[in-house]
Structure 1
Amino acid sequence: MNDKQHTINAPVTVSGIGLHTGVVSNMTFKPAPINHGYKFQRIDLPDQPIVDADADNVVDLSRGTTIEQNGARVNTVEHTLAALVGLQLDNVLIELDGPEPPIMDGSSIEFVKALQSVGFQEQNALRNYFEIPSGITYKDESRGVEIVALPLDDYRLTAMVDYNSPVLGSQHASITNLSQFVGEIAPCRTFVFLHELEALYKQNLIKGGDLDNAIVIVDRVVKDEELSYLSELLKKPKVQVQEEGVLNNTDLRFKNEPARHKLLDLMGDLALIGRPIKGQILAARPGHAANVAFAKKVKKMIREAAIKNVPTYDPKKKPVMDINQIAATLPHRYPFLLIDKIIHLDETTVTGVKNVTLNEPFFQGHFPGNPVLPGVIQIEAMAQTGGILVLSTVDNPEDYWTYFLGVDRCRFKRKVIPGDTIIFKCELLAPIKRGIAKMSGQAFVAGQLVMEAEMSASIVKKDA
């Protein structure tokens, strides 16, 4: 899986009819900046409103996933989003001059080909993965649906379907590496049972449905007069049934193509979580409603984890240690004393505050005209915060030195600029033994994680 964020090199357009609306539209994928994510833009509407690809924006799940925001609606987004996820693209603006992406052949492969034709661009920022911390389960017992996410340092998905049909029985499909997506999942087309067709037309759906963009599965005996009716309904000169029960002699691209398409839908719907995932997803009888419900459950977990981990800072409250007390504990002096306050300190955790101003000396040479707090300064400030924690475990801390031993898993999530207030939180990963401390550290600005790392340090008595 990619470590860095990616976008595309240049705009690329696909055109076609929408599956449910029957409206012809042009859809243009455009490069987007770091941390942009996936966004649709309805350029056919006044003010060209933006619709974020977000589970909280889902408004309809009738045979597809529809999102709405800022008075604009986009239907059937799952195939488009699956292509972006499968290609490990992070930041793309999707312009639409109609209400729905083109259905193309009913799969994601034409989107994939278009995106591949312009190539991909690595961006100078790490992907903001959400790593599944423990088992997450969603169940809809009335429909026999269950989706489970398990911890894994990768992204793997398995989908199982069972329609109690003599033609389409139990099937399953898996993807164990995203490199398989293009060849094994992206070409798999949407499908519908024959008995659903007329009902869908009566519900004003599948106006753009065609035997060229969907597999129609026949699971019962069909008389000639019904075939004639279907040919008129589908605007085809002739409709016939294959021996294995597929209309118009359509050749399946894979024996388990329906299950693979369900996996494709699952990938697209889970893109609405808003972050790339590390975990193993197991889905039994998934559908758009269950997929989106599961995505919302994961999003809620992400929000709760963020709220739980972000320290609160009230500048009106008296700090645990002010700058004079910090200076008396740490040996650092200008320009290397980087922490302004300690607002929390207990046996295992410390929280420090740094106010970033343009007056700091490194801004004279670091990106003049575009001041960005250097990553090494952030690490040093975090280390000084952790140093306060380590020194609090000994008597007469002024008699000790603390030395860096290592930094691991360091990730910079967002840039820090003058005017920001950084909140550093450091926590011991294990009790200090033989003068060696191991800590996890996080840095927050305005409630958002901007940097994290694991650090180790030694504490040594000055006369030792």
Structure 2
Amino acid sequence: MGEKQKTISKEVSLTDIGLHTGQKVNLTFCPAQENFGIKFQRIDLEDHPIIEANVDYVSEVQRGTTLTKNGNSVSTIEHSLAALTGLGIDNCLIKIDAQEVPIMDGSSTPFVNILKEAGIKEQDSEKDYLIIKEPIKFSIEDQGIELIALPDDHFSVKSMIDYDSPVLGQQHASMENIQDFEDEIASSRTFCFLHELEFLAQNNLIKGGDLSNAIVVVDKVIEKERLNQIAQLLGKPTVEVTSKGILDNIELRHENEAARHKLLDIVGDLTLVGKPIKGKIIATKPGHGPNTEFAKLIKKRSKEMETKFDVSKTVLDVEGIKKILPHRPPMLMVDRIIELSPDKVVGVKNVSVNEDLFRGHFPDQPIFPGVLQVEAMAQVGGVLVLSQFEDPENYLTYFMKIDKVKFRKMVVPGDQIVFEISYLTPYRRGVAHMAGKAYVNGTLVTEAEMMAKIDKVK
């Protein structure tokens, strides 16, 4: 038996202010049913819109991660999401009465504590992991940014930061297992450099900023007069720079707290792929922008891996197909069958520039027609149906209905189309109701539902 999904046992709430808005925020974590996932709900807005924790909705990554759906946003979400992932919680509704998640102490610990107070409840359904099956890499070479995901049987993260700062230097942090999150990572607080803090304060961008919820790095010598100005700007009587090069507002919880917090952000941002990850993450100079782009890439590659077929196999070659289907060139649109079972078939069509149709469709921009993609899909479906008969050559299949056809991407010469066809309902009384999907390089290009009648003609 695999691991079970988890939610919380009861609703729990906390209240604080938003770091950037300064607005008082009430946030409530609520239990959710199996396969619900993690979703935010803006209860202060009309109709209480839902915003899924989905990387496709990322709209802003400056100083935090923001999601926007249908014009409704929720921001600074990463610390709360990291807490949920760190505790292995799969399903949770987060109700919030303002746009920004409360900053608390700048770490995930307050969220971890309140979630543990709620109690963590195991559910009946098994966890649906996103399994890294091959290396995935995202990089911005001119900035030295690189994030890599490698296959592994559990989730781990290694992070390195380097701000070319004499105070921070080059820092490393690691989390060997998600079970280490609470003790090793959750308490690490957000940080910024003094010049960033001054800019944000002067431009009214940290209305909820408080020197108790951030580590402020000072990497240059500061005159006493300027320190007094900074104290006034931040609404503090005085501030001093410690021997470690940070303002004296707080004590470091870890020598490498900055690197640990960046690792915390990675955990939160990668929650947006929508599934717990099994894989090893190695990050150099991470940030919300690179993290979320990496999450998009992981999600995309995961879909490709889910639809990846072994095209080196051959169950039926073209001669075998001709023993089942009545079609012949130029209307035979299937080159090989690579999988065949009573319920599903996978076939391959190689699109060649030498096909006569490209002389007219179109001479200067050859595109494989969508109607022929559907025809090829139907022929692969015909193999599925007719292969169950001992004498398939005595039967013909006729279209009765084509429904829900979507062409998502152009198919051009040189592409190899992989068609996956399965029954929507059991085959009975000479009628086959099937769903088909077509992929090129793992990307869905066409999909349709088809109904066909099978008649004996000989």
Tell me if both proteins adopt one fold, taking TM over 0.5 as the criterion: yes
Match of residue 257 from structure 2: 257
2:423 to 340, 353, 373: 353
Deviation, structure 1 residue 305: 3.3
Q: Tell me the secondary structure at the aligned position of residue 265 of structure 1.
A: helix
Q: Tell me the secondary structure at the aligned position of residue 156 of structure 1.
A: strand
CA distance in 2, matches of 1:143, 1:46: 42
Say whether the 8 Å CA contact 1:242–1:249 is kept in structure 2.
Answer: no
Cα 1:320–1:97, aligned 2, differ >3 Å: closer, same or farther? same
Deviation, structure 1 residue 307: 4.8
Cα 1:350–1:266, aligned 2, differ >3 Å: closer, same or farther? closer
Deviation, structure 1 residue 163: 1.4
Q: Tell me the secondary structure at the aligned position of residue 283 of structure 2.
A: strand
CA distance in 1, matches of 2:198, 2:229: 10
Match of residue 406 from structure 2: none
Q: Tell me the secondary structure at the aligned position of residue 143 of structure 2.
A: coil
Say whether the 8 Å CA contact 1:25–1:96 is kept in structure 2.
Answer: yes
Match of residue 319 from structure 1: 382
Q: What per-residue deviation string (whole Å, max 9, x for no partner) do you get for residues 310-331 of structure 1?
A: 96999976633649x74869xx
Q: What per-residue deviation string (whole Å, max 9, x for no partner) do you get for residues 76-132 of structure 1?
A: 111111001101110100000011111000000000000000111111111111111
Pairing 1:8-157 to 2, within 5 Å after superposition: 8-157=8-157
Cα 1:113–1:422, aligned 2, differ >3 Å: closer, same or farther? farther
Match of residue 275 from structure 1: 275
Match of residue 297 from structure 1: 297
CA distance in 2, matches of 1:166, 1:2: 47
CA distance in 2, matches of 1:322, 1:103: 59
Cα 1:67–1:316, aligned 2, differ >3 Å: closer, same or farther? same
Deviation, structure 1 residue 422: 8.6
Q: Tell me the secondary structure at the aligned position of residue 64 of structure 2.
A: coil
CA distance in 2, matches of 1:10, 1:249: 36
CA distance in 1, matches of 2:162, 2:422: 55
Cα 1:279–1:232, aligned 2, differ >3 Å: closer, same or farther? same
Deviation, structure 1 residue 12: 0.5
Say whether the 8 Å CA contact 1:173–1:256 is kept in structure 2.
Answer: yes
Match of residue 183 from structure 1: 183
Say whether the 8 Å CA contact 2:212–2:249 is kept in structure 1.
Answer: no
Match of residue 212 from structure 1: 212
Identity of aligned residues (%): 48
Whichever residue aligns with residue 78 of structure 1, its letter is E
Q: Which has the higher mean CA deviation after the structures are superposed, 299-308 or 131-140?
A: 299-308
CA distance in 2, matches of 1:148, 1:203: 36
CA distance in 2, matches of 1:422, 1:351: 6
CA distance in 1, matches of 2:206, 2:278: 34
Cα 1:242–1:103, aligned 2, differ >3 Å: closer, same or farther? same
Cα 1:249–1:65, aligned 2, differ >3 Å: closer, same or farther? closer
Q: What per-residue deviation string (whole Å, max 9, x for no partner) do you get for residues 191-238 of structure 1?
A: 011111111224442221111110111111111111111111111111
Q: Which has the higher mean CA deviation after the structures are superposed, 195-204 or 143-152?
A: 195-204
CA distance in 2, matches of 1:143, 1:24: 37
Cα 1:123–1:327, aligned 2, differ >3 Å: closer, same or farther? farther
Deviation, structure 1 residue 249: 5.0
Q: Tell me the secondary structure at the aligned position of residue 382 of structure 2.
A: coil
CA distance in 2, matches of 1:40, 1:270: 16
Pairing 1:402-421 to 2, within 5 Å after superposition: none
CA distance in 2, matches of 1:76, 1:249: 22
CA distance in 2, matches of 1:249, 1:350: 60
CA distance in 2, matches of 1:239, 1:2: 53
Pairing 1:159-178 to 2, within 5 Å after superposition: 159-178=159-178
Deviation, structure 1 residue 270: 0.7
Say whether the 8 Å CA contact 1:356–1:422 is kept in structure 2.
Answer: no
Coordinate RMSD, CA, aligned: 2.8
Deviation, structure 1 residue 55: 1.0
Cα 1:288–1:35, aligned 2, differ >3 Å: closer, same or farther? same
CA distance in 2, matches of 1:157, 1:81: 16
Whichever residue aligns with residue 128 of structure 1, its letter is D
Q: Which has the higher mean CA deviation after the structures are superposed, 25-34 or 202-211?
A: 202-211
Say whether the 8 Å CA contact 1:40–1:96 is kept in structure 2.
Answer: yes
Q: What per-residue deviation string (whole Å, max 9, x for no partner) do you get for residues 369-399 of structure 1?
A: xxxxxxxxxxxxxxxxxxxxxxxxxxxxxxx
CA distance in 1, matches of 2:83, 2:99: 19
CA distance in 1, matches of 2:166, 2:299: 38
Q: Tell me the secondary structure at the aligned position of residue 172 of structure 2.
A: strand
Q: What per-residue deviation string (whole Å, max 9, x for no partner) do you get for residues 234-272 of structure 1?
A: 111111111111112521001110000000001101111
Cα 1:101–1:354, aligned 2, differ >3 Å: closer, same or farther? closer
Whichever residue aligns with residue 41 of structure 2, its letter is Q
Q: Tell me the secondary structure at the aligned position of residue 40 of structure 2.
A: strand
Cα 1:356–1:229, aligned 2, differ >3 Å: closer, same or farther? farther
Deviation, structure 1 residue 287: 0.6
Aligned length: 345
User: Which runs of 5 or more residues in structure 2 are unaligned?
Assistant: 310-343, 348-373, 392-418, 437-446, 449-458
User: Which runs of 5 or more residues in structure 1 are unaligned?
Assistant: 330-348, 360-419, 424-445, 448-464
Whichever residue aligns with residue 319 of structure 1, its letter is G
Deviation, structure 1 residue 73: 0.6
Whichever residue aligns with residue 14 of structure 1, its letter is L
Say whether the 8 Å CA contact 1:86–1:181 is kept in structure 2.
Answer: yes
CA distance in 2, matches of 1:249, 1:100: 24
CA distance in 1, matches of 2:144, 2:264: 20
